[in-house]
Homo-oligomer: A and B are copies of this chain.
């Protein structure tokens, strides 16, 4: 039973969820090489669509994602990865989660404070 990497040009979305709190921290994309690297190292590794190469999350910031649990869905074309997130935040904009904006009466609003200063990390 294999993952289906054929639907999005070789990529599948990987939902990253905090294993302790259940908070969804980010969505990344993995190709087969990124998934294999994730299994091999125990750290979430994605395929960066903007840089067009493998991307070890936390390579620069140190905010790595330690894999605790991996699930796949019925169609085997998505991953749910529960992690321990090292450091104060996953988002390169300085927030705990990339999902720091919510829809409120038709407008996106920031609903939380940053947890670190990204200019000191990146």
Is B78 a contact of A101 with CB atoms below 8 Å? no
Residue of B nearest to A69 (CB): B102
Instruction: For A75, give the chain B residue with the smallest CB separation.
Output: B98
State the interface size on chain A (CB cutoff 8 A). Answer: 38
| B contact residues around A100 at 8 Å (CB) | 71, 74
Number of copies: 2
The interface residues of chain B lying within 8 Å CB-to-CB of A21 are: 22
| A→B interface (CB under 8 Å) | 1, 7-8, 13, 15, 17, 21-24, 26-27, 39, 49, 69-76, 78, 80, 91-93, 95, 98-103, 106-108, 111
Q: A23-B22, A80-B99 are in contact. Are A74 and B93 (CB under 8 A)?
A: yes
Distance between A5 CB and nearest chain B CB, rounded to angstroms: 14
Contact (Cβ within 8 A) B27 A78: yes
Tell me, in angstroms, the Cα distance from A75 to B21 when the chains sit together: 23
In contact, B99 and A73 (Cβ under 8 angstroms):
yes
A19 to nearest B CB, angstroms? Answer: 11
**What are 14 of the A-B contact pairs (CB < 8 Å)?**
A15-B24, A15-B27, A21-B22, A22-B23, A27-B78, A39-B103, A69-B102, A70-B103, A71-B99, A72-B108, A73-B101, A74-B91, A74-B92, A74-B100
